[in-house]
């Protein structure tokens, strides 16, 4: 709960702090990594630091949380914090690291706002930070407690490595030791840690694309990003028989228990919906399932065979496909919800490039789907949240 003393100060300074977050967050990361360079080795993404995406996501989360507290001072925005906490636990964030972040973040705030900061303003923003931090610490402790083990990283052996569409690869892994395995849920992801050519350890989250509930194998599908750091290593260097480290499964983009389901995806964003389809097919689901997917062409579709097979196995499922390169029998161009018969009780799950997700969400709202029934997954830092808060 935001105190009555702090609320007017946060409300008055939020526009200024939000406007200067673009300078505050790089200052913060620079200070923190200078003092704790070990945090870049196996925890923070160097690529997302270099391209500025992590700074934007942090700025968006802080401003978004503060805005929510100003609007509803007695309510913590748990849905927003849950999304961040799942990412944190997939990386092994610990409670003591919030103290480190606080120290260097507020040093950066003091420097970048030196012309306007007062002890009262600093105290109010400190209250916001610890309300956010303590809420996430509580969520993260609960997520860790749900796991079948108390480890952050476990060794898994690559037993298959199969091409899947243009520049995509599906990895199948089995446990390399006797650590108890947590069964995942459709839509969840694992963090994958690899050593880069320069020796730095880096992690990325990849959605589980099949057999999510298995405790004897993990399956994830990746698209090679030639400008990235982790996917090229996975595609070019990791071989069948190699052992790599995975986290337990996390992620809050999971299917609810009732009503029709609409899965709208583009490109490699199909991976979480593929796992959902596989689970629905295996369970003999009788809910109405509408699968919508967009690709450049048929050959690019990473999980085409798996998804079409599972759609065929579900009596109540239908598939519609949009292709940028025209092919007979499919929609031409970009996905649109116009003209589709979407059930009024449908829950929509969206995953793909950010502009795609925003467009589909807007169309879904126009079609009468309540915002509370629209769910999304962002691969990498959540820049949707950052944009909403700016």
Only one residue has tokens 């649109």, namely: 336
Q: Reduced to 3 states, what is the DSSP secondary structure of residue 225?
A: coil
**Distance of alpha carbon 348 from alpha carbon 373, whole angstroms:** 6
**Distance of alpha carbon 77 from alpha carbon 57, whole angstroms:** 16
Both tokens of residue 3?
Answer: 């105190």
Residues in the chain: 390
What positions carry a catalytic annotation?
98, 140
Both tokens of residue 153?
Answer: 């990283």
Strand stretches in the chain, DSSP E = 154-163, 168-175, 189-195, 201-210, 218-223, 243-246, 261-266, 289-295, 317-323, 331-332, 347-351, 374-377
Asked whether the beta carbons of 63 and 15 are under 8 A apart, the reply is no
Asked whether the beta carbons of 297 and 325 are under 8 A apart, the reply is yes
Backbone angles phi, psi at 165, to 5 degrees: 80, 180
Q: Which residues contact 91 (CB under 8 A, 6 or more apart)?
A: 43, 191, 203, 247
Element spanning 358, H or E: helix 354-366
Count the Cβ atoms, other than its own, within 10 Å of residue 62: 23
**Distance of alpha carbon 141 from alpha carbon 216, whole angstroms:** 25
Asked whether the beta carbons of 303 and 221 are under 8 A apart, the reply is yes
Q: Could you tell me which of 192, 188, 163, 171 has the C-alpha nearest to residue 301?
A: 163
Both tokens of residue 335?
Answer: 């996905």
Q: Which residues contact 110 (CB under 8 A, 6 or more apart)?
A: 117, 122
């Amino acid at each position: 709960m935001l105190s009555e003393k702090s609320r007017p100060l946060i409300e008055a300074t939020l526009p200024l702090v939000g406007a200067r977050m673009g300078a505050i967050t790089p200052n913060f990361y620079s200070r923190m990594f200078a003092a704790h360079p070990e945090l870049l080795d196996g925890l923070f993404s160097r690529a997302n630091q270099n391209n500025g995406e992590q700074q934007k996501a942090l700025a968006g989360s802080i401003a978004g949380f503060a805005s929510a507290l100003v609007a509803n001072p007695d309510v913590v925005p748990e849905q927003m914090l849950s999304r961040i906490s799942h990412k944190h636990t997939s990386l092994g964030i610990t409670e003591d690291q919030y103290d480190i972040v606080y120290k260097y973040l507020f040093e950066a705030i003091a420097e970048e706002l030196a012309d306007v900061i007062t002890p009262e303003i600093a105290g109010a923003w400190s209250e916001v930070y610890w309300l956010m931090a303590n809420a996430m610490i509580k969520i993260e402790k609960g997520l860790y407690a749900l796991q079948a083990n108390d480890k952050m990283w476990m060794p898994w052996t690559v037993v298959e490595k199969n091409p899947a569409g243009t520049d995509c690869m599906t990895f199948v892994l089995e446990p390399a030791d006797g650590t108890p395995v947590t069964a995942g849920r459709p839509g969840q992801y694992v963090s994958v840690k690899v050593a880069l050519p320069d020796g730095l350890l880096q992690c990325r989250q990849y959605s589980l694309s099949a057999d999510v509930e298995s405790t004897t194998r993990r399956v994830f599908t990746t698209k090679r990003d030639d400008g990235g750091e982790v996917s090229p290593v996975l595609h070019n260097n990791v071989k069948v028989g190699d052992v790599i480290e995975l986290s337990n499964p996390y992620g809050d983009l999971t299917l609810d228990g009732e009503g029709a389901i609409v899965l709208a995806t583009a490109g490699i964003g199909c991976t979480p919906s593929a796992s959902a389809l596989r689970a629905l097919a295996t369970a003999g689901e009788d809910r109405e399932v509408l699968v919508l997917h967009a690709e450049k062409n048929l050959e690019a579709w990473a999980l085409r065979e798996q998804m079409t097979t599972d759609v065929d196995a579900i009596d109540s499922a239908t598939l519609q496909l949009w292709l940028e390169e025209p092919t007979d029998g499919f929609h031409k161009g970009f996905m649109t919800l116009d003209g589709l018969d979407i059930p009024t009780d449908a829950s929509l799950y969206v995953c793909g490039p950010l502009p795609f997700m925003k467009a589909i969400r807007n169309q879904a709202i126009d079609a009468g789907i309540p915002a509370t029934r629209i769910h999304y997954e962002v691969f990498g830092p959540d820049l949707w949240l950052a944009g909403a808060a700016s």
